[in-house]
A and B are shown apart, each in its own frame.
Chain A
Amino acid sequence: MTNKTLNLKPHIKSYCRITNKKIICDGEVFLAKNESETTEEFFKKIYQKLGISYPKFHKMDLLCKAGFLASELIAQTESIFETNTALVFANKSSSWVSDEKHAQSIYSKESSASPAVFVYTLPNIVLGEISIRHQLLSENLFLIFEAFSPDIFTEYANQILTENKAEKVLAGWVELTENEMDVLVFLIDSHGDLELNKENVTNLYLKK
């Protein structure tokens, strides 16, 4: 019997934090946001700076773009392509940005729903987009909480990794509204520099 599970101590391998001011990856600022820029413009600049070619990006809504970009940055150093990486994401406002857009189009006089907008009126579509990009067929879960808390991420990751249900876990708090970008995505593995615990996760979140 292997002692893999007995020696298991999940660690945070890499993280990405997006706030209203900038996008950081593993302690380094990848890009700062100009005050006059919209979220849309800022995300486009990050996409261009990443130097990838993924035309589907432009069709995504802001929530999916945020999750996609954060994961992409992490994946540049820690490839997750075709790995058994479970996804556990959460936020407060669900798919608010697209919900509002879709609702407005229905309430308008012409009352015409756009299929491309409706597609994004579910918060877990961001998990779908990440899975498609990195060909992840693993478990994925999206929860709604009143506010950020490290608990679900640490508990879920510990459980999944201990049970060998996945090799890695990509965890994310992706709260996006009209005026607010509050995103923390981090990759958890069975080894690394930073131990996975509530304190360390909270510290990453509080880094602004």
Chain B
Amino acid sequence: MSDLKQELKEKIIAQLNLEDISIDDLQDDTPLFGEGLGLDSIDALELIVLLDKTYGIKLADPKDGRKVFETIQTMADYIEANRTK
């Protein structure tokens, strides 16, 4: 699980162009949206693409993303439970 979380942190920083953030800044429970990292709706869509391409999980409704993408921890939990790759 901790490998997956590390992997997620690296991928998110790269995929979302979070240049000013280092892996150490990204805690498991840092809120990704809103006050935390300040990601926006396009970032959410990119995370949906990431879920599909890397872990084989298709999220049909962007609104479902809200709960899944709350923190690194919630993302990792969801991926563990649903990954097909």
Contact = CB atoms under 8 A, between A and B. Distances in A.
A58 B17 contact: yes
B4 to A, nearest CB: 22
Size band of the interface chain A makes with B: 10 to 19
User: Which secondary structure characterizes the binding site on chain A?
Assistant: helix
Interface string A53-65: 1010011000000
Nearest to B21: A55
B42 A58 contact: no
Given A115-B42, A116-B42, A119-B42, A59 B49 contact: no
A110 interface: yes
A104 interface: no
Interface residues of B, number: 12
B53 A55 contact: no
Contact of B53 (A44, A53, A110): A110
Contacts of A83: none
B49 A58 contact: no
A5 to B, nearest CB: 41
Contacts of B42: 59, 115-116, 119
A52 to B, nearest CB: 11
Interface string B8-37: 000000001111100000000000000000
Contacts of A164: none
Leading 6 A-B pairs by shortest Cβ distance: A115-B45, A58-B19, A58-B17, A59-B17, A116-B46, A116-B42
Interface of A: 44, 53, 55, 58-59, 110, 112, 114-116, 119
